[in-house]
Amino acid sequence: MEKVFRDRRAIMIFVLPAFIVFSSVVILPIVFSAYYSLLDWNGAGKASFIGFSNYIEMFTNPSTYFVKGIVNSAILAALSIFVQVPLALGLALVISRGIKLEGLFRNVYFIPVIISTTVIGQLWMKIYHPNNGMLNILLQNIGLASWKKSWLGDPVISLGAVFFVLIWQYIGYHMLLMYSAIKAIPTSLYEAAEIDGCSKGQLSRHISIPLIMPMIKTCVTFALIGSLKTFDLIYVLTKGGPIHATEVPTTLMFANIFLNFRYGMGSSMAIFILLECLLFTVMLQRLFKVEDLEF
C-alpha cells in the first residue's frame, strides 16, 4: 500500500476520474460563464464581444438594480451571522443539557431543513397573506389589529419578512451541527467543573463554547455563503418584489438570463456572485486565524 502511495502515476490514475467529473461540473461552467459575461448575447442569435461592458453596466446603470441587490444580500448575510447563528447556538446549548424530550426537540427544529424550499415558500405565503393569513388573523384576535401588514407587499418590511423565514428554515441546521459538537465533548470535563462549583452558564461559557469554536466557525461560513447565494425562497415568496425591494444578485441573474434573455449580463452577475463568495470565505478564514492567534 505504501508503494502505491509513493507511485505518482498510480495516484494520477486514481485521481483522474474525479478530476474529470469535477472539471466538467464545476470548472468548465465557470470558464464558459466568464466567457459569456464578455458578450452581448441573447442565448440563440449571434453574439458580439463587448469586453467588460456588462460589468460596468450592472454597477452604473440604476435600472439593473444590482447595487440594491448587493446591499440586500449584505443585510441578509449580516443578519444570518449575528442573529441566526447565535440563536442556533443558544438552542444547541439548551437542548444538549439533557432536558426532557431532548430527541423530540432536536428533530422538530430540524424538520424545516428537510422540507422543500418551494413548499416552505408556499406555506409562508399563506401565513403572510394580508387578508386570510394566519399571522394577521392572530394579530386581530389578540387585539393588535393595528399591527396587521401586507408582509410581502410592503417594500419597507418585505425583506425582514423573507429573512424571518430563512431563520426558521435553517436555524435547525446550524443547531444540529453545534449540538453534535457539544455532545462530542467528554462528560468528565463537565463533571469536574460542576464539582468546582460552576453553574450551567459557566459550563457553557468556559467549556462548551470554546471547545466547539471550530464548528461555530463552520456554521458562520455556511450562513454567510448561504445568504449570499440564496435564491429559491426569495423567488417563491416575492420574485424580488415589491418594486425590487427584496432583489438579490441571484434573482437578478435569473431574470436577466431566463426572462430578459441577456445571457451576457446574467453571466457577469454569476461571476460576481462566485467571486463575492470566494472573497468573503477567504476573509472569514483569515479573521478566524487572527482570533485563534489572539486567543
First to last CA, the chain: 41
Cell numbers at 94, concatenated? 439548551
**Which residues does residue 291 pair with via DSSP β-bridges, in sequence order?**
none
The DSSP element (H or E) to which 48 belongs, if any, is strand 48-49
Q: For the chain (length 295 residues), average pLDDT per consecutive 10?
A: 64 87 91 93 88 93 92 93 94 87 87 92 93 91 90 93 92 94 90 84 88 92 91 93 92 93 93 92 81 54
Cell numbers at 228, concatenated? 449570499
Q: Are 208 and 182 in contact (CB under 8 A)?
A: yes
Residue 98: how many other CB atoms lie within 10 Å: 6
Q: Is the dihedral of CA 153, 147, 145, 137 positive or negative?
A: positive
Nearest alpha carbon to residue 172 among 76, 108, 248, 260? 108
Alpha-carbon distance of 75 to 70, in angstroms, equals 9
